Structures are given as structure tokens and as C-alpha cells.
Amino acid sequence: MPYYHICPDCGAALDPDEKCNCHDRRPAAYCFMCAMPLYPEDALYDQDPAYEIDGHVLCEDCVDKYVEKNCRKTLRR
Ligand SMILES: [Zn+2]
Ligand SMILES: [Zn+2]
């Protein structure tokens, strides 16, 4: 067994007593579809990938789904 645990929120490997620093970060927004917190850039990390469509903020995983569901255009000749 490894002597560390995994942060349930960000997946970082931590020492047994270490508190993950992801909890110091405040999300700038939440994904409109999956409600995942989206963090801004800080000293350690680049910002999370985020997109805005129709005024909704979307994470990287949801942007394709949103576009597929809401932006599909039926082509007519
Ligand atoms: Zn964490
Ligand atoms: Zn999402």
C-alpha cells in the first residue's frame, strides 16, 4: 500500500496528514451542465479550460455536448 492518499476533489497524491491546497482555490464559475467548479489561473496552475456559449459557462467535457444538443443546425437545400 502506498503511504499517501488521493484528494477526492482534484486527484492529487498527498501525504497522510497533508491538506490539499486545491481547497484554497475558489472557483471562478461552475459548468452550466455538470456543475464542475472551474478555477481561474493562479500562481501554480493555468486556468481550467472553460467556454462561454449563449451566456453559459461550460467545461471542456460539456462544450461538445452542449453544442451538439443546442447548436445543431438542420441543413436544407
Ligand atoms: Zn485537492
Ligand atoms: Zn461540464
Rounded distance from Cα 61 to ligand 2 centre (Å): 5
> Which residues sit opposite 58 in a β-bridge?
51
74 lies in some domain: yes
Alpha-carbon distances, residue 33 vs 6, 40, 52, 60 (angstroms) = 26, 18, 12, 11
3-state secondary structure of 29: strand
Give me the pLDDT at residue 1, please: 59
For the segment 41-61, the average pLDDT, to the nearest whole number, is 92
The residues placing their C-beta within 5 Å of ligand 2, an ion, are 31, 33-34, 36, 59, 62
pTM: 0.64
Rounded distance from Cα 23 to ligand 1 centre (Å): 6
The C-alpha atoms of residue 20 and residue 49 are separated, in whole angstroms, by 21
17 lies in some domain: no
Rounded distance from Cα 29 to ligand 2 centre (Å): 11
41 lies in some domain: yes
72 lies in some domain: yes
Question: What is the amino acid identity at position 43?
Answer: A
Give me the pLDDT at residue 22, please: 72
Alpha-carbon distances, residue 14 vs 1, 8, 22, 36 (angstroms) = 14, 11, 11, 22
77 lies in some domain: yes
Please say if the pLDDT value at position 11 is more than 80.
yes
67 lies in some domain: yes
Rounded distance from Cα 17 to ligand 2 centre (Å): 31
**Could you list the residue range(s) of the whole structural domain that residue 38 is in?**
25-77
Please say if the pLDDT value at position 13 is more than 70.
yes
